Amino acid sequence: MDALARNILDAGNLFDSLETTLLAQHRHLLERDMAAVEDDTRQLKSYLARIRSNVLLRNQQLVAAGFSADETGMQDYLNALPEKRRIMVEQQWRELELKVTRCREINSVNGRLQGRLRSVTAKLLGLIWGQIPGRAYNRFGQIVIEAPKNLSGA
C-alpha cells in the first residue's frame, strides 16, 4: 500500500471516530449533560487537529508524487494507479467523502441544537431574574405562579 492510499484509509478511520463523537455529543446535548458535552468538545478538537494534519500530509504526498494538491490532483493520482488498486482506493476515497458529508450534517444539527438550548436557557434565566415578563404554566396551560421580579421575590 502506498503512502497516499494509507493516508486515505487513516482519514476514513479518523472520520469514523469523529462521527462517533459527534453522535455522542448529540445524545449528550439532548440529555443536557453539559459535562459530557465539554468532554465531547475536547475530543472533537483533538480529532479535528488530527484530520488537519492528515489533510496536510495528503496534500504534501500528492505534490511529492507530481500531482496538484486538489481534487484534480487526487483524480489524477487515482487514474495513475493500476486498475485493481485504483478500484479499491477510489472506493475508499468515495467512502471518505461520504463520511465527511455525514460528519458535517451531524455537526450542523448539533450546532442548531446548541443554539436552541442556549436560547431556552437565556429565556429561563430571564424569567428567573425578572428580565422577561411572563408566567409559569403547568402542563395543562394553566397559570401557576407569576415569575418573580428579583431573588427576594422568589
**Upper half-sphere CA count for residue 60 (Cβ side, 13 Å):** 8
**pLDDT tens by residue, 48-80:** 999 999 999 999 999 999 999 999 999 999 999
**pLDDT tens by residue, 127-145:** 666 665 555 666 676 655 5
CA 38, CA 97: separation in Å to the nearest integer? 27
**pLDDT tens by residue, 4-62:** 999 999 999 999 999 999 999 999 999 999 999 999 999 999 999 999 999 999 999 99
pTM of the model: 0.77
> Please, what are the domains in the chain?
3-116 (1.20.58.300)
pLDDT for 129 equals 67
